[in-house]
Homo-oligomer: A and B are copies of this chain.
Amino acid sequence: MAEEKTDGVRKTAGTPRALDALDRKILGALSRDATLSYAAIGQDVGLSAPAVHERVKRLRASGTIEATVARLDGAAVGKPLLAFIHVDTEGWGVTTGLLALQEMPELEEVHSSAGDTNLILKVRVASPKALEGLLARIYEVGCVRATRTYTVLSTHLDRPVQAGTTQNLAEGGPVK
């Protein structure tokens, strides 16, 4: 348990510096394709390559850019089955057992939730059988009252955090 798994946990070690329109455009480009050269991004946003580099460095240091990672195809790595699992727990003593679960690469997201459930899990597994095994291990943690599993039939959209907001996207929107 003495492992320093930072892996994907929020850092937020950043300066609360405001982002301007240029920052947002750069972030938008990088969130789509981080292999773009600074020169190419600079052409898009109207900046020189070193200027883009400077901003990206700042965005990295501030934690706005958490990491640059490869997005893998679930099916291609042998995990074609995606599911969300809602877990109802007794009390708040979930933390200990939770850490053990996070060791499993099948788990991608773990959120505490408001609403009629306590915990929302996003998992990706090889087969229904693997899902069954995963559920069994969740109950082994203890303090689990019930689970509800939502198997994903098809994914229509799956993209990273977007830098843009609705306001600067569509001006004519009927947003009240």
Interface residues of A in 86-142 (CB under 8 A from B): 86, 98, 102-115, 117, 120, 124, 126, 130, 133, 136-137, 140
B interface footprint on A67-84 (CB within 8 Å = 1, 0 otherwise): 111111111111100101
Which of the residues B64, B70, B107 comes within 8 Å of A34, measured between beta carbons? B70
Which residues of B are found within 8 Å of A161, using beta-carbon distances? Answer: 71-74, 77, 79, 108, 124
**Which of chain B's residues has its CB closest to A154's CB?**
B112
> Interface residues of A toward B: which range?
35 or more
List the 3 shortest-distance A-B pairs measured between CB atoms, nearest first: A8-B159, A105-B162, A30-B70
In chain B, what residue has the closest Cβ to A176? B133
Inter-chain CA distance A154–B166, complex, in Å, is: 24
* Inter-chain contact A113/B10, CB cutoff 8 Å: no
Q: Is B107's CB under 8 angstroms from A157's CB? A: yes
| A152 (CB) vs chain B CBs: closest residue | B111
Contacting pair A27 B77 (CB below 8 A) = yes
A60 CB, nearest partner CB in chain B, Å: 9
A148 to B115, CA, bound (A): 9
Q: How far is the CA of A174 from the CA of B2 in the complex (A)?
A: 13
A171: interface (CB < 8 Å): no
Taking a contact as CB atoms under 8 Å apart, the answer to whether B12 and A75 are in contact is: yes
Contact status of A120 and B152, CB under 8 A, knowing A33-B67, A71-B65, A166-B106: yes
From B33, B104, B113, give the contact of A69 (CB < 8 A): B33
